[in-house]
Structure 1
Amino acid sequence: MDAMTSSIIFIIAAFCLGAVVIMKREAIPPKMRRWLALFSIAMIAFAFFLIVYALFTMGTGTV
């Protein structure tokens, strides 16, 4: 599995975690909700960084 495939899997997982935290926010205990929200924000921010990095390095790979 190459680095791009791993990045795509991470990006999908980060956005899915964010969606689950938003959809199930009433069912999550308040103390855990805060930490899950912070963790998902950090993962989504890193996922955006990976997307931007992939766009900047697009086309510079070797043949």
Structure 2
Amino acid sequence: MTDTPSLLLSDKTAAQLLGISRATLWRRVSDKTLPSPIRLGGVTRWRRDELERAIDTASARADRSMRGQ
């Protein structure tokens, strides 16, 4: 676990963090590749720690695939 606080990110910032477009971000949410955002008072945000966990999971899955496991 990191010492950084859990930050809430807009779709623009979340997409930038992931290096993808906003449209791709929403597609990945639809196909359950990325976590769903939370909605607070009409504002949609992603928890940074959840996005980082999704990145770690995808990376581990890719590593296993590359090794043929």
Structure 1 or 2: larger helix share? 1
Instruction: Please report the TM-score for the alignment, with normalisation by the length of structure 1.
Output: 0.41
Instruction: Please report the TM-score for the alignment, with normalisation by the length of structure 2.
Output: 0.38
Higher relative contact order (CA 8 A, sep 6+): 1
